[in-house]
A and B are shown apart, each in its own frame.
Chain A
Amino acid sequence: MTIVQLGIFALVAILIGQLKKSRELAILAASVFVLFWLQPSQQFVSLVFWIPAATIGLTIFTWLLVSTPESRVWEVNWPSILVIAVVVLLIDLNQFFGLETIYMTTTPRLWMIGTGFIVYISFLMAATRLADKLKFLLTAVFIGIIFLLVYLKTPFLISKSFELIYALRGQESPAEAHYIFSWLGFSYITFRLMHTVRDFQTGRLPALNLGEYVNYVIFFPSFTAGPIDRAERFVQELRTPIALADQDWLEAGKRFFLGMFKKFVIADSLALIAINEMLVNQVHSAAWMWFFLYMYSLRIYFDFSGYTDVAIGLARVMGVRLPENFASPYFKPNLTLFWNSWHMTLTQWFRAYLFNPMTRWMRTKNISIPLIIFATQICTMSLIGLWHGVSWNFLLWGIWHGVGLFIQNRWSEFVRVRTTSPLPPRRQLLLNAGGIFLTFNFVSLGWLFFTLPSPQIALLAMSKLFGIGL
Chain B
Amino acid sequence: MNEVRPGAVLIKGLVLFALANVAFAYFNPPVGKLSIYNWLIPGRERVPYEREVEYYDISHTVPIYEDMDAMYRSTILSRPKGENEFRIFLIGDSSAWGFQLRPEETLVGQLNTLNLKTCDGKQIVVYNAAFPLPYVMKDLLIMDKVREYDPDMFLWTITLDGFRNRTIFTDYFLDPYSTRVRELVGEYQLANLDIDKLAAQTFWDRTMIGQRSRLKKMFLLQLHGLGWSATNLDYYYQGYLPLSQDQSEDELFFGSSEGGLGLDNSLFDVLEAGYRLAGNLPVLAVNEPIFIASGENSDIRYNEFYPRWAYDEYQAYLENWMSANHHEYIDAWDFLPSSEFTDTPFHRSPAGETAFAEYLAPQILNLSCTK
Q: Are A250 and B4 in contact (CB under 8 A)?
A: yes
B36 beta carbon closer than 8 Å to chain A: no
Which among B5, B57, B58, B224 has the highest number of chain A CB atoms within 10 Å?
B58
Q: Is the interface of A mostly helix, strand, loop or mixed?
A: helix
Q: Which residues of A contact B219 (CB under 8 A)?
A: 269
Q: Which residues of A contact B5 (CB under 8 A)?
A: 246
- Which residue of the partner chain A has the closest CB to B56? A272
A115 beta carbon closer than 8 Å to chain B: no
Q: Which residues of B contact A207 (CB under 8 A)?
A: none
Q: Are B223 and A250 in contact (CB under 8 A)?
A: no
Given contacts A269-B223, A278-B58, contact A283 B231 (CB under 8 A): yes
Q: Are B6 and A285 in contact (CB under 8 A)?
A: no
Q: Which residues of B contact A249 (CB under 8 A)?
A: 6
Q: Which residues of B contact A269 (CB under 8 A)?
A: 219, 223
A292 beta carbon closer than 8 Å to chain B: yes
Q: Are B223 and A292 in contact (CB under 8 A)?
A: no
Q: Are B6 and A278 in contact (CB under 8 A)?
A: no
Q: Are A282 and B223 in contact (CB under 8 A)?
A: no
B3 beta carbon closer than 8 Å to chain A: yes
Q: Which residues of A contact B224 (CB under 8 A)?
A: 272
B9 beta carbon closer than 8 Å to chain A: yes
Chain A 248-286 interface mask (CB, 8 Å, partner B; 1/0): 011001000000000000000100110010110011110
Q: Are B58 and A250 in contact (CB under 8 A)?
A: no
Complex-state Cα separation, A138 to B233, whole angstroms: 58
- Which residue of the partner chain A has the closest CB to B230? A288
Complex-state Cα separation, A273 to B225, whole angstroms: 9
Q: Which residues of B contact A282 (CB under 8 A)?
A: 59, 230-231, 233
A144 to chain B, nearest CB (A): 39
B220 beta carbon closer than 8 Å to chain A: yes
B245 to chain A, nearest CB (A): 34
Complex-state Cα separation, A270 to B139, whole angstroms: 35
B195 beta carbon closer than 8 Å to chain A: no
Q: Which residues of A contact B210 (CB under 8 A)?
A: none
CB under 8 Å from chain A, chain B span 1-48: 3-6, 9-10
A105 to chain B, nearest CB (A): 25
Q: Are A279 and B231 in contact (CB under 8 A)?
A: yes
Complex-state Cα separation, A288 to B226, whole angstroms: 9
By the criterion of a CB under 8 Å from any partner CB, how many residues of chain B are at the interface? 19
A60 to chain B, nearest CB (A): 38
Complex-state Cα separation, A393 to B301, whole angstroms: 55
- Which residue of the partner chain B has the closest CB to A288? B230
Q: Are A279 and B6 in contact (CB under 8 A)?
A: no
B63 beta carbon closer than 8 Å to chain A: no
Q: Are A250 and B230 in contact (CB under 8 A)?
A: no
Complex-state Cα separation, A272 to B223, whole angstroms: 7
Given contacts A272-B58, A272-B220, contact A279 B227 (CB under 8 A): yes
CB under 8 Å from chain B, chain A span 421-441: none
Q: Which residues of B contact A250 (CB under 8 A)?
A: 4, 6, 9
Q: Are B57 and A276 in contact (CB under 8 A)?
A: yes
- Which residue of the partner chain A has the closest CB to B223? A272
* Among candidates B3, B6, B226, B231, residue contacting A253 with C-beta atoms closer than 8 Å: B6
Complex-state Cα separation, A278 to B57, whole angstroms: 9
Q: Which residues of A contact B223 (CB under 8 A)?
A: 269, 272-273
Q: Which residues of A contact B6 (CB under 8 A)?
A: 246, 249-250, 253
CB under 8 Å from chain B, chain A span 313-364: none
Complex-state Cα separation, A334 to B220, whole angstroms: 35
Chain A 82-111 interface mask (CB, 8 Å, partner B; 1/0): 000000000000000000000000000000
- Which residue of the partner chain B has the closest CB to A285? B230
B39 to chain A, nearest CB (A): 17
Q: Are B3 and A246 in contact (CB under 8 A)?
A: yes
CB under 8 Å from chain A, chain B span 162-220: 219-220
Given contacts A269-B219, A276-B58, A278-B58, contact A246 B4 (CB under 8 A): yes
Complex-state Cα separation, A279 to B230, whole angstroms: 9
Q: Are B57 and A292 in contact (CB under 8 A)?
A: no
- Which residue of the partner chain A has the closest CB to B225? A273
Q: Which residues of B contact A272 (CB under 8 A)?
A: 58, 220, 223-224, 227
* Among candidates B3, B10, B230, residue contacting A292 with C-beta atoms closer than 8 Å: B230
Given contacts A269-B219, A279-B231, contact A253 B9 (CB under 8 A): yes
- Which residue of the partner chain A has the closest CB to B233? A282
Q: Are A273 and B227 in contact (CB under 8 A)?
A: yes
B42 to chain A, nearest CB (A): 13
- Which residue of the partner chain B has the closest CB to A253? B6
- Which residue of the partner chain B has the closest CB to A295? B226
B149 to chain A, nearest CB (A): 28
Chain B 278-318 interface mask (CB, 8 Å, partner A; 1/0): 00000000000000000000000000000000000000000
Q: Which residues of A contact B10 (CB under 8 A)?
A: 253
Chain A 110-135 interface mask (CB, 8 Å, partner B; 1/0): 00000000000000000000000000
A297 to chain B, nearest CB (A): 16
Complex-state Cα separation, A282 to B58, whole angstroms: 10
Q: Which residues of B contact A246 (CB under 8 A)?
A: 3-6
Complex-state Cα separation, A288 to B231, whole angstroms: 9
For the complex of A and B, 6 pairs with smallest distance between CB atoms: A288-B230, A249-B6, A282-B231, A272-B223, A283-B230, A273-B226
Other 16 A-B pairs with CB < 8 A, given A282-B230, A288-B229: A246-B6, A253-B9, A269-B219, A269-B223, A272-B223, A273-B58, A273-B223, A273-B227, A276-B57, A278-B57, A278-B58, A282-B59, A283-B230, A284-B231, A291-B226, A292-B58
Q: 26 pairs across A/B with beta carbons < 8 Å? A: A246-B5, A249-B6, A250-B4, A250-B9, A253-B6, A253-B10, A269-B223, A272-B223, A272-B224, A272-B227, A273-B58, A273-B223, A273-B227, A276-B57, A276-B58, A278-B58, A279-B58, A279-B231, A282-B230, A282-B231, A282-B233, A283-B230, A283-B231, A285-B230, A291-B226, A292-B58
